[in-house]
Amino acid sequence: MTSRHAEVEQVWPRDGRVLVIGRIVDAALTPPARTTAILTLTNRDRPDLVLSCPATVDGGRFRAAFPIELVVSAVACREIGGRQVWDLHLRLPGDPEPLRVGRHLDDIRDKKKVMTFPAQTSEAPAGAVSVKPYYTVMRNLSLISRPVHS
C-alpha cells in the first residue's frame, strides 16, 4: 500500500460490464469537486498497451464502468493470445501520478482467495474471451482475460 491510492469499495462484474466504485485516499489531496477522471487498464506484459474509460470523481469518491468488449476487442485486434493481466489505475486530471486501484483499508488479508469475482465471456472473431476482475496478492485490483476453449 502506498500513501495514496484509489480504495475499492465495490466491484460489479455483470451485464457485460465491470463497474468499480470507491474513494480516493490521499492525505495531500483536497477532494476535487465533481470532475471527470480516467480509469486505465495497463497490460502487464506490454506496458505500452493501455486501455481507458471515463470515471466520475465527486467529493473524493470515484465510479467507473467499462464494457468487457474494451478488453476483448483489444486482445482480438492486437492478436494477443493466452492469458493476459491488466492492472487498474485511476488518473485524476492534472495529476501526473496515476493512483493504483486496490483495497487496503479493511481487515481481510487474503483478498486474492476471499474476495473473488465471476468471469464474464464475450464472443470475438478468434473465439470467446473471458474477463475476470481479481485482487492480487498485494490487494490491488487487476483483470485477467483469457481465451475460452469450448
CB 117 to another protein: min, Å: 5
DSSP, residue by residue, 21-34: EEEEEETTPPPP-S
The one-letter code for the residue type at 58 is: D
Nearer to another protein, 45 or 106 (CB): 106
CB 21 to another protein: min, Å: 9
Residues at the site binding another protein, with contacts judged by CB under 8 A: 9-14, 107-108, 110, 113-118
Residue 84 C-alpha cell reads as 493476459
Nearer to another protein, 11 or 64 (CB): 11
Nearer to another protein, 9 or 95 (CB): 9
Instruction: Tell me the pairing of strands 4-14 and 17-26.
Output: antiparallel
Nearer to another protein, 11 or 74 (CB): 11
In this structure, the number of other CB atoms found within 10 A of the CB of residue 26 comes to 18
CB 26 to another protein: min, Å: 23
Dist CA 65 CA 52 (whole Å): 10
Dist CA 77 CA 71 (whole Å): 10
Dist CA 32 CA 19 (whole Å): 21
CB 13 to another protein: min, Å: 8
